[in-house]
Amino acid sequence: MRYRHSKMCFACKSSTALTLIELLVVVAIISVLLALLMPALHQARVVTKRFACQSNLKQVTLAWHIYLDDHNDRFYQGPNVNHDFGGWKGRGGYALSRPLNPYLKLPLEMETESGAKIFRCPADSGGIFNRPPQQLAYDYFGNSYETNFLLIGPNQIPVPADDREELYREIGKRLKWLRRDAVSEPTRLLLLGDNNWVTQWDASLPLSSYWHGRRDCYNLGFLDGHIEYVRIHKGPFLTSEYRVLPFAELDQFVPRPSE
């Protein structure tokens, strides 16, 4: 009896074991499921980084508003301030002093990146103009974001020798003591966004890299404080979605696309 019982148990165990073919079928099914899930997981990571970037931009945009409140509504202007308005010194030789830092509880001067992560887009993958493709904007400028240089930037923007010359001269006359109440349509006016958005917009520069998974689309902060994921068109100073030009009275000077 004891022998027969052991034999029956062995037979029972043998009947529940997977055969090699069954094991291969299970592995194949798992592989197919993983192949189907991987794109969804990748897209989920892209979207998560996009939202984290938007959160950063929201705080930086609000910091600009507090800065304006403290400075008689005047925009900050200075050499390269479109890049070095906040963050750390970076590796590109940009300014150590960053005027927006104190409004985000950071030191005015930051030699290293420690603590400056609010100025780093988590999707920053480089592709910045005139630099090695793999160099991150955050590493080079100390900041993943760039302002609208027609609004916050050099005291006098360079005047191009093309059909934008008259427009840029007129903009330059307004920049030195520019106040918030002098600009048009804050709900549509671009304030700052992912570093490469300006390269994407400026018709004189080659097309740039995009960081958030959709061609020509960038996270942008508007002057009224809201954040959007926007497709930036090459060349136009104003579209139905946004305006780069801060002054509606200068719209007459905006170059029109060639027919």
pLDDT bracket for residue 46 (50, 70, 90): confident
State residue 16's pLDDT score: 59
Say which residue, 226 or 30, is predicted with more confidence: 226
pLDDT bracket for residue 183 (50, 70, 90): very high
Of the candidates 188, 204, 196, 191, the residue with the CA atom closest to the CA atom of residue 251: 188
State residue 6's pLDDT score: 52
The whole-number average pLDDT for the span 204-213 is 91
State residue 153's pLDDT score: 84
User: How many angstroms separate the CA atoms of 208 and 27, rounded?
Assistant: 42
User: How many angstroms separate the CA atoms of 140 and 118, rounded?
Assistant: 16
Residue pLDDT, tens place only, 90-143: 999 899 999 999 999 999 999 999 899 999 999 999 999 999 999 999 999 999
For the chain, give the percent of residues with pLDDT over 70. 90
State residue 5's pLDDT score: 52
State residue 1's pLDDT score: 47
Which residues lie below 8 Å from residue 109, measured CB to CB, with a gap of 6+? 89, 96, 97, 98, 101
Q: Sheet with 227-231: list strands edge to edge.
A: 145-147, 190-194, 217-222, 227-231
State residue 32's pLDDT score: 78
User: How many angstroms separate the CA atoms of 137 and 208, rounded?
Assistant: 12
For the chain, give the percent of residues with pLDDT over 90. 67
Q: Which residue has tokens 């998974």?
A: 213
Average pLDDT, rounded, for the chain:
88
The whole-number average pLDDT for the span 190-208 is 94
List the single range of 138-142, 173-177, 199-203 with lowest mean pLDDT.
173-177
pLDDT at 259 over 50: no
* β-bridge partners, 220: 193, 228
State residue 163's pLDDT score: 85
State residue 10's pLDDT score: 47
- Write down the pTM of the prediction: 0.83
User: How many angstroms separate the CA atoms of 21 and 244, rounded?
Assistant: 63
The whole-number average pLDDT for the span 213-237 is 96
User: How many angstroms separate the CA atoms of 118 and 82, rounded?
Assistant: 17
User: How many angstroms separate the CA atoms of 75 and 96, rounded?
Assistant: 19
Residue pLDDT, tens place only, 229-239: 999 999 999 99
User: How many angstroms separate the CA atoms of 132 and 128, rounded?
Assistant: 8
pLDDT at 187 over 50: yes
Q: What are phi and psi of 50, to 5 degrees?
A: -60, -45
Residue pLDDT, tens place only, 74-84: 999 988 999 99
User: How many angstroms separate the CA atoms of 55 and 229, rounded?
Assistant: 12
The whole-number average pLDDT for the span 33-47 is 75
